[in-house]
């Protein structure tokens, strides 16, 4: 009633408007992907990659780093960890904006449903990045964005619905319980 009217008046008076998240889709072709085994967090030589190797590789893919390990003008090089396999098509969906936790849970549930029908993929990921100056923090401590700002987590979901949860927080932040 009255509170809602006052709030709406405040927003319109200060030219504040709601924005919808931006969604982009892309297809990555002939992508080298690490071989993962849900039970092997540390990886096994010549059998599977570790969680750390996956996390680094995923960061490179999401940042569109060239993975062919060829030097160019003395830039650093990177290649997919071993063992790996070439995937003909990998789909990348990026949603940018303020997304509430309930929507992230809904996305995660939908991704789990992906394996309900026979699929070729062995695993998929959902990565959530917080804003560097996010007011959200763990354990009621102030977020250390003045000193770093790392703030993300990643779910790796396997065909058998096992999953890995990877988190990265800044050196001046606490990890969640």
Total structural domains within the chain: 2
The 10s digit of each residue's pLDDT in 47-64 is 999 999 999 999 888 887
Both 89 and 109 in a single domain? no
Both 88 and 147 in a single domain? no
Instruction: Establish if 134 belongs to a structural domain.
Output: yes
As to burial, measured by CB atoms within 10 angstroms (0-12 exposed, 13-18 middle, 19+ buried), residue 1 is: exposed
pLDDT at 149 over 60: no
Instruction: pLDDT band for 142, please (50, 70, 90 cuts).
Output: low
Distance, in Å, from the CA atom of 18 to the CA atom of 15, rounded to the nearest integer, reads 10
pLDDT at 148 over 60: no
DSSP string, 115-133: GGS--S-SEEEEEEEPPTT
Distance, in Å, from the CA atom of 137 to the CA atom of 152, rounded to the nearest integer, reads 11
pLDDT number for residue 167: 84
Task: Judge whether 92 and 26 are in contact, CB under 8 Å.
Answer: yes
Mean pLDDT of 118-133: 82
DSSP 8-state secondary structure symbol assigned to residue 173: S
Instruction: Establish if 133 belongs to a structural domain.
Output: yes
Domain range for residue 162? 98-176
Both 47 and 108 in a single domain? no
Q: Which helix (H) or strand (E) holds 33?
A: strand 22-34
The 10s digit of each residue's pLDDT in 8-50 is 788 778 877 777 889 999 999 999 999 999 999 999 999 999 9
Q: Which residue has the higher pLDDT, 173 or 109?
A: 109
Kindly state the tokens that stand for 110.
Answer: 């939908």
pLDDT at 172 over 70: no
Distance, in Å, from the CA atom of 158 to the CA atom of 12, rounded to the nearest integer, reads 46
């Amino acid at each position: 009633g009255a509170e809602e009217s006052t709030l709406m008046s405040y927003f319109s008076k200060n030219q504040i408007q709601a924005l919808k998240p931006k969604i982009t889709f892309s297809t990555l072709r002939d992508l080298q992907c690490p071989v993962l085994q849900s039970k092997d967090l540390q990886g096994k030589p010549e059998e599977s990659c570790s969680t750390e190797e996956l996390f680094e590789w995923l960061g490179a893919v999401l940042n569109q780093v060239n993975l062919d390990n060829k030097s160019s003008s003395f830039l650093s090089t990177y290649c997919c960890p071993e063992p790996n396999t070439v995937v003909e098509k990998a789909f990348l969906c990026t949603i940018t904006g303020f997304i509430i936790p309930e929507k992230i849970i809904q996305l995660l549930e939908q991704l789990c449903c992906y394996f309900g029908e026979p699929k070729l993929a062995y695993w998929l990921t959902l990565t959530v990045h917080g804003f560097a100056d996010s007011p959200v923090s763990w354990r009621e401590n102030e977020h250390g964005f003045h000193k770093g700002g790392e703030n993300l987590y990643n779910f790796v979901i396997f065909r058998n619905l096992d999953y890995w949860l990877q988190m990265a927080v800044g050196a001046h932040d606490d990890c969640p319980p």
